[in-house]
Amino acid sequence: MRLIALPEGTYTVGLDKVFIPFNPKTDSIKDRPASLLVEIQPFLLNTTHDIILCDTGLGYTDTLGELILHKNIKSHGIMPEQITKVLLSHLHFDHVGGTVVRENGTLKLAFPRATYYVQKKEFQKAMEAPSKSYRLEILDALLNSGQLEFLDGDGYINEDIHYEITGGHTEFHQAFTIKDDHDIFFFGGDVLPDLYQLIRKFVAKYDFDGKKSAELRIAFGERSINQNSTLLFYHSIKVPFCKIVKTEIGFRVRE
Ligand SMILES: [Zn+2]
């Protein structure tokens, strides 16, 4: 199985939930108090049966109006039409921006042949309780596309792809395990967004249930060692994915 990280760039995000591009060469985090420094990084997995995307980024475009996500995918020799499944951990706009593309003022799905997988209750919550973190026009486009498939609880999409509700970050946030004969990959979305949150035992104020997320990170870390799986970190700047080992005080990257 082939795994490709598709970085959309580095940003700071504050309590206002606005993502501002951050250039490490010219910008300083000290100038942006109360902000979190994050990468935005969807993943592509090429399995025997599918070409899968894990979350879709902010959906930013270049100066010519092309989706950065499309450019990134094409740079690896894959066309957007070839994507068969889009797995969405949750519906915050920094994870679903690239599910859609704007053409002549209307939104259409960015991956015309893909099925998009969303937890049903995550979708319901997002529709019921609009917040700065959700974009209703994206949810509407997904709902009206005929390409949306709701998942309810835990289960398998096919023999390769397992989904499970984690809660933690949002009430019905989900994680995915994707495996073939050789490899196992774990995409923990915003419950396991960054290697350093696993190492430093971080409790995030922005989580629906930060304590649960922190406990889950440790459980997922342990599981990853037992399964010999690779962890995918959507918001990690330095290490997009890795395997880990246990230490006396927690975890570290497996060299
Ligand atoms: Zn989120």
Q: What angle do CA 68, 46, 65 make, to 5 degrees?
A: 15
Ligand 1 centroid to residue 169 C-alpha, Å: 7
Task: Report the alpha-carbon distance of residue 185 to residue 188 in Å, rounded.
Answer: 10
What structural domains does the chain harbor? 2-253 (3.60.15.10)
3-class SS of residue 37: strand
Q: Which residues surround ligand 1, an ion (CB under 5 A)?
A: 92, 190
Condensed to tens digits (0 to 9), the pLDDT of residues 162-218 reads 999 999 999 999 999 999 989 999 999 999 999 988 887 778 888 999 999 999 999
Whether pLDDT at 14 is above 90: no
Task: Report the alpha-carbon distance of residue 72 to residue 100 in Å, rounded.
Answer: 15
Ligand 1 centroid to residue 181 C-alpha, Å: 31
9 alpha-carbon distance from chain centroid: 14
Condensed to tens digits (0 to 9), the pLDDT of residues 66-119 reads 999 999 999 999 999 999 999 999 999 999 999 999 988 899 999 999 999 999
Ligand 1 centroid to residue 190 C-alpha, Å: 6
Q: Which pLDDT band holds residue 34 (cuts at 50, 70, 90)? A: confident
Ligand 1 centroid to residue 35 C-alpha, Å: 15
Q: Give 69-123 as a DSSP string.
A: HHHHHHTTT--GGG--EEE-S---HHHHGGGEEEETTEEEESSTTPEEEEEHHHH
3-class SS of residue 62: coil
